[in-house]
Amino acid sequence: MFQYAGYSLLATHYSLLKIMNYEAVIGLEVHVQVKTASKIFTRVGQGYGHEENTLTDPVVLALPGALPVMNKAALDAIIKSGLMLHCEIADVCKWDRKNYFYPDSPKNYQITQFDQPICIGGEVEIELPGEARNVMGEHKKIPLTRIHQEEDVGKLTHFAHDSLVDYNRAGTPLMEIVSDPAIASAEEAYAFLTTLRTTMVYAGISDCDMEKGQMRCDANISIRPVGQEELGVKVELKNLNSISYVRDGISHEIKRQKAVLKAGGTIVQETRDFDGITGTSQSLRTKEDAHDYRYFPDPDLMPVRVDQAWKDRLAAECPERPFDKQRRFMAAYDLPYTITSVLVPDRELSDWFEATVAIAGKPQAQAVGNWIANDLLRDLGAANVSLADAKITPAHLAELVGLIEAGTITKQIAREVFTESFGSGETPSAVVERKGLKDDTNSDELEQWCRDAIAGNDKAREQFLGGKDGAINAMKGPVMKASRGKANPKLVDETLRRLLAE
Amino acid sequence: MSTPLTFQTLSGIADQLASGALTSVQLTQAVIDQTAAVESRVNALLSHDAADALAHAQASDERRAAGKPLGPLDGIPIALKDVIAVRDQPLTAGSKMLEKFVSPYDATVTIKLKEAGVVLWGRANCDEFAMGSSTENSAFKTTANPYDLARVPGGSSGGSAAALAAGEAIATLGSDTGGSIRQPAAFCNVVGLKPTYGLISRYGLAAYASSLDQIGPFTRTVEDAAIVLGAIAGHDHRDSTSFKTPIPDYRAALQEKKGPWKLGIPKEYFGEGLDPEVGAAIEKAIEFYRQAGCEIKEVSLPHTEYCLSTYYIIATAEASSNLARYDGVRYTHRSPDAKNIEDVYFKSRSEGFGDEVKRRIILGTYVLSSGYYDAYYLRAQKVRTLIRQDFLKAYEEVDAILTPTTPTPAFKIGETTDPLSMYLQDIYTVGVNLAGLPGISVPAGFTDEGLPIGMQLIGQPYQESDLLAIAHTYDSAHDWSGRLPEL
C-alpha cells in the first residue's frame, strides 16, 4: 500500500515535471515599407518627416471619383523581396479590399492581397548567437508562409478632445512578410528580423528603420508542453517598435504564459500591447472583437500577369544574399568569421572591401579586412562620416597595404598615413613622401641600434639565450624608438637574432 | 416653323458655329434663357453658373475668330451628371452627404471636354450616388419628364436626359451602371449611349459599382453621340480598368458602314411584363431593319432571368465598399451631434444617406459577409461570366442585338414605391453592364398618350463604330426626336 502510494506520488511528480517543460512557438508578421519614389497607387511622393498632409492628392484622400493605379516600382520591389527570400512568385497577382472603418484609412478599406499573395512560401536564414563573439553561431532556416502587398494608413494623433489625422503615410507601399509558426525563441525572432533588415537594405527595398516605422512587427506567441504536436492558444503581441523590443516582448510573453499555466490558469486568445519601456504588456482586445473584413477582389485594379521575363529581369537585379556572401568571404579570402561579420552586414562596406582587394590582390585580403574593420570604421565613427562621403578610397587602402608589404613603411607608420589619407584624401605614397616617413634606415645604423639595445638589456639577453624567445621584444622597443618608428620590424627581428646568436 | 436653337442637333449647331452664322455666346445665352424658362417645372439641374458659361463661350468665340477652333464641340454647352468631377464646381452625387463638397480636381472626361472647347454648363440631377431608376432618390429635387411633367424622367441620369429633352443643353453626360443612361434616354426621347466597359475613363466619376459604371453621352441623334463619344473615349493612365484600344472616327464610320447587318432578337426580352405599345413600336423598328435588308434572327440569352439578382449582388457589394469613404471624417456631411468617432460614422451616415443608398449598402455588406460570400458574391460572379458568354455566343451569329430599352414608358412620380418593382425597370439593360458591352437607346416612337419609347441596340465589345452605324441607319430615317415636348 505504501509502496503503491509512493509509486503514484513519483509518477505524479514525474508527469508534473514533464508538463512544466514548455516550448514556445512563435510566428511573426512583419510590415516593411517599400522605398519607392511615389506612393503605391498614385504619383504623389512618399517619405518621412514632411509637413502634415502635404503628401496627398485625390487618390490619397479618397475623394469621390479617385481611382488607384498600381505603382510598378512597388510591385518590382516585392517580387525582388520574394526572390531574395526564396519565395515562389505567383504568375498572376490580384488585389483585394479589406473593409473596416478607421479614420486613418481614407477609403475605409485597405487594398491588400487576401487569398493570392504575390510571394508564396520562402525562407529566412538566421544565425543564432555563437558561444563567443568570434565563433559563428548556429544557422537555421525559418520558413515563410507568404509575402503580400498592401498600402499603409495615415497617422492619428490624439488630444484631450480631438484627434488629428495626417495622411502623409497613407498609401505608402507596404509588404507584409508572414512567417510560419516555426520560431522557437525570442533570440530566433531577433535573428529573423536582423536577417530580414539586412536583406531588405541589401536589395535597396527598404531602410527598415523601426523608429521611423519602416519596419513593424507583430508576434503570435503560444507555448505547449514539449513533445506535444498541437499548438497552444496564441496571443498576438503588437507595438514592438524595435528589434530589441521584439526580443524583450516575446521573452516577457513566454514567461507570462508559463506563469499563467503554472498557476493553473488558461491562456486566452487575445491581442496584447507591449510597452518596451516598462517591459509589461496589457490586453487590447480578445477574439470576440474580431472583425469581419468582407474581403473581395478590388474591381478598380486589374490582375497583373508576372511573366518569366519579368521575374528573370528582377532576379538579375538581386544582390548576393548576405549569408551567401559571408560564406564566400570566408572561403575565397580566408577571412576570419569576426571580420566577415563586420564587413558583410553592410553592403557598401563589403563592396568597398572587395574593391580594395581587387586592386591590392587576394593575398592582401586579410590585411585589407583588418584595416577596414579596425581603422576605417573607427575613423568613420570618430569623424561621423558615411562611407559614401569618405575621402579615402579602396585605391588608397590598396596602396597603403602594398607599401607595408614592400617594407617601405612599418605598420605603425601606416596608421599615421591612413589617418592622413582619411582626413585629406591624399594618396598614401604622397603622404609618405611629403612627411618623409619612408624607412630609410641603412643596415649599419640599424645594426648599431641593435647592438646598443642588446648591450643595454642584459636581463633580456640572458633570458633569451636561456630559451625564453619572447624576451627579444624587450630589445625591439629601444630599436624602434631610436628609428622613430620607421625601422622595419621584420628586419629588426632578424638583426637582433643574428647578433644574439654571435 | 424651324426648330428652336437649343433643340437643334449638335452637328447642325456645330456647322452654324463653324460657318459663323452663330456664336457660342449666342448659343450659350439661348441655353441660359431656355433653362430660365423651363427649369422651375423640369428641375433637371442642381446648379449652374451662367457667368462662368458665358465666359467660356466668349473664349470659344475668340478662338474661332482667331482661326483656332478646337473641333466640333468647341463652344457647345454640355451639362454633366452631378457624379462627374469638375474642378471648383460642386459635386453632390445627389446626396446630402456631399451637399457642400466642391471638387478640387477634374475628371478625365471633364479634362477631355475642356480640351475640346466645350462650355461646361450645369450639374444635372440624379438619383443619389446613381442608385435608382427615376431620379426620385435625389436628396435635392425631383426632376420631371419634359414630355409629361407628372412623370419621372427615368434614372439615375434623369437630370441629364430631362435637361437635354427640355432644351437646357445641347448634349449631356450621364453614367450607366445598370441602365442609368439608356432608360432615361428612352423615357425622354433622346439618344443615350453606354459604351463598352473600359472605353471611357472612370477617373473622377463618383463610384457606385466600379466593375459596372461607365460614363456616356445623351444627344438628340446617333450622329451627335458619335461626335461626343469621340471626344471622351480613350485609355487613361489614371484608370487601370480603361482599355488600350485605338479610337476610330466614330462619325466618319456612320457613313462608311452601311450594312446590311444581322440583328438578333432575344426571345427572353419579349416576354411577360412588356407593355404592348412598347412591344409594337419595337416590332415596327425590327420591320424597318428587315426592309432595309438586314437579316433578323431570333437568339437566346438563356441566363437573362438571373441578370437582375446578379446585378443587385455585385453592384451593392461594390457600392457598400465604395461608399465607405463618405464617413464624416474629411469632406462629407458630419453630424453636428457627433461626440466620438462612432457617432461621426453612425450619425453622419444615417443623416447623410437616403433610404435607397442605405438599403443597397446594407444589402452589399450582407452579401460580402463571412459565411455568405460564397453563396452570394462568388456565385454572382460566376453567373456574370455565364451572362457574358450568352452574349458572346449570340454574336457568333449576329452583329448586334435589338430589344426594347424598358418594359414600359415613363411612370408617374411617386407611383412606384416598392423597391423591387423599381428594380424591374432595369430588366433589359443590366445584362449589358454585367457583360461589359456597349448599348444604345434610340427614340423609337410614342405611346398613344404621347410618352416616348426607346429601342435598345446592344453591340460587341469595343465595336462602337458598328453599333452606332446600325443605330444611325434607323435614327437617320426617323425623326422621333423632332417631336418636341410641350413645355
- Grade residue A187 by pLDDT with cuts at 50, 70 and 90: very high
Q: Is the pLDDT of residue A289 over 70?
A: no
Q: Residue B303: which of B388, B367, B373, B378 has the closest Cα?
A: B388
Q: Can you tell me the distance from the alpha carbon of B433 to that of A208, in angstroms, rounded to the nearest whole number? A: 45
A472 shares a domain with A426: no
Same domain, A137 and A268: yes
pLDDT interval class at A487 (50, 70, 90): confident
Task: Please judge whether B377 and A292 are an interchain contact, meaning their C-beta atoms are less than 8 angstroms apart.
Answer: no
Establish if A304 touches chain B: CB-CB under 8 angstroms.
no
Spell B94-122 as b/e; 16+ CB within 10 A means b: bbbbbeebebebbbbbbbbbbebbbbbbb
B203, B208, B237, B363, best to mutate vs chain A, most A CBs in 10 Å: B203
Compute the average pLDDT of residues A23-38: 97
Residues 6+ apart with CB under 8 A from B102: B88, B89, B90, B91
- Does residue A315 lie within any of the structural domains? no
Same-domain pairing of A26 and A172: yes
- pLDDT category at A494 given cuts 50, 70, 90 is confident
**pLDDT at residue A1 tops 60:** no
What gap in Å lies between CA B203 and CA B83, rounded to an integer?
Answer: 11
Judgement on whether residues A447 and A423 belong to the same structural domain of the protein: no
Continuous H helices in A72-147: 72-84
- Within a domain: residue A14? no
Whole-angstrom distance, CA of residue B11 vs CA of residue B77: 13
In a domain, residue A314? The reply is: no
Q: How far is CA A30 from CA A33, A128, A203, B315, in A?
A: 10, 19, 17, 35
Would you say how long chain A is, in residues?
A: 502
Residues in chain B, overall count = 487
pLDDT over threshold 70, residue A480: yes
Domain boundaries, chain B: 5-265+395-482
Q: Which of A57, A93, A294 to mutate to test the interface with B (most CBs of B within 10 A)?
A: A294
Q: Which has the closest alpha carbon to B287: B121, B455, B166, B41?
A: B455
Closest CB from B103, B237, B325 relative to A69: B237
Q: Nearest by CB to B369, from A68, A108, A294: name it.
A: A294
Residue of A nearest to B202 (CA): A65
Confidence band (pLDDT; 50, 70, 90) for B15? very high
Q: Which candidate from A64, A163, A301 shows the least CB-CB separation from B85?
A: A64
**Chain B residues touching A107 at Cβ < 8 A:** 324-325
- Domain B5-265+395-482: state its class: alpha beta
- CB-CB: which of B107, B203, B370 is closest to A292? B370
What is the percent of chain A where pLDDT is above 70?
94
ipTM for this model: 0.96
Distance (Å, rounded) from C-alpha A234 to C-alpha A254? Answer: 11
HEC assignment per residue over A394-436: HHHHHHHHHHHHCCCCCHHHHHHHHHHHHHHCCCHHHHHHHHC
Contact A32, A200 (CB under 8 A): yes
Q: What are phi and psi of B26, to 5 degrees?
A: -60, -45
B421, B154 contact by CB (below 8 A): no
- A43 in reach of chain B (CB within 8 A): no
Interface residue B375 vs chain A (CB under 8 A): no
Q: Is the pLDDT of residue A304 over 60?
A: yes
Choice among A244-248, B385-389, B430-434 with the minimum mean pLDDT: A244-248
Confidence grade of residue B105 (pLDDT, cut at 50, 70, 90): very high
A313 lies in some domain: no
Bridge partners of residue A99, in order along the sequence = A109
Phi, psi of B192 (to 5 degrees): -135, 125
In a shared domain, residues A355 and A252: no
Peptide bond into B260 cis (omega under 30): yes
In a domain, residue A84? The reply is yes
Identify the residue among B88, B327, B357, B384 best suited for mutation to test binding to A, counting A beta carbons within 10 A and taking the highest. B327
Whether residue A73 sits in one domain with residue A130? yes
- How many domains, chain A? 3
pLDDT at B316 over 70: yes
Cell of B442: 434610340
Structural domain range at position A131: 22-308
Chain A residues with CB under 8 Å of B373 CB are 294, 296
Nearest residue of A to residue B345, measured between CA atoms:
A101
Closest to B158 measured CA to CA, from B200, B118, B194, B186: B186
Are residue A167 and residue A299 in the same domain, yes or no?
yes
Q: Do residues A198 and A124 both lie within one domain?
A: yes
CA–CA separation, B105 and B200 (whole Å): 18
Grid coordinates representing A393 are: 578610397
Residues A49 and A152 in one domain: yes
C-alpha cell at A419: 589617418
Please indicate, yes or no, whether residues A257 and A350 belong to a single structural domain of this protein: no
In a domain, A12, yes or no: no
Domain finish residue from A377, A405, A435: A435
Rounded Cα distance, B405 and B277, in Å: 13
- The distance of B203 to chain A (nearest Cα, Å) reads 6
Residue B272: φ, ψ to 5°: -60, 145
Give whole-number Cα distances, B26 to A188, B5, B65, B170, B220, in Å: 79, 10, 15, 13, 20
Question: A107 vs B91: CB contact, 8 Å cut-off?
Answer: no
The angle at the Cα of B141, spanning B135 to B147, to the nearest 5 degrees, equals 60
Residues A388, A377: Cα–Cα separation, whole Å = 13
- pLDDT-based confidence at residue A2 (cuts at 50, 70, 90): very low
pLDDT of residue A485: 79
A61 vs B: CB within 8 A: yes
Peptide bond into B242 cis (omega under 30): no
Q: From the list A58, A294, A300, which residue is nearest B241 (CB)?
A: A300
Q: Which residues of A touch B237 (CB under 8 A)?
A: 69
Does residue A338 sit in the same domain as residue A367?
A: yes
> Which of A389, A411, A435 is the C-terminal boundary of a domain?
A435
Helix axes A473-482 and A443-455, enclosed angle (nearest 10): 130
Contact B105 A300 (CB under 8 A): no
Do A282 and A342 lie in one domain? The reply is: no
- Environment class of B379 (CB within 10 Å of its CB; exposed 0-12, middle 13-18, buried 19+): middle
Q: Residue A208 pLDDT > 80, yes or no?
A: yes
Cβ distance of B240 and A300 shorter than 8 Å: yes
The grid coordinates listed for A52 are 502634415
Handedness of CA B253, B258, B262, B263 (dihedral sign): positive
Catalytic residues of B: 81, 156, 180
For chain A, the average pLDDT equals: 92
Per-residue pLDDT, A412 = 85
Largest CA distance in chain B: 70
Mean of the per-residue pLDDT values for chain B? Answer: 97
- Cβ within 8 Å, pair B105-A63: yes
Report the 10 Å Cβ neighbour count for B474: 20
User: Nine-digit cell at B52?
Assistant: 462662368
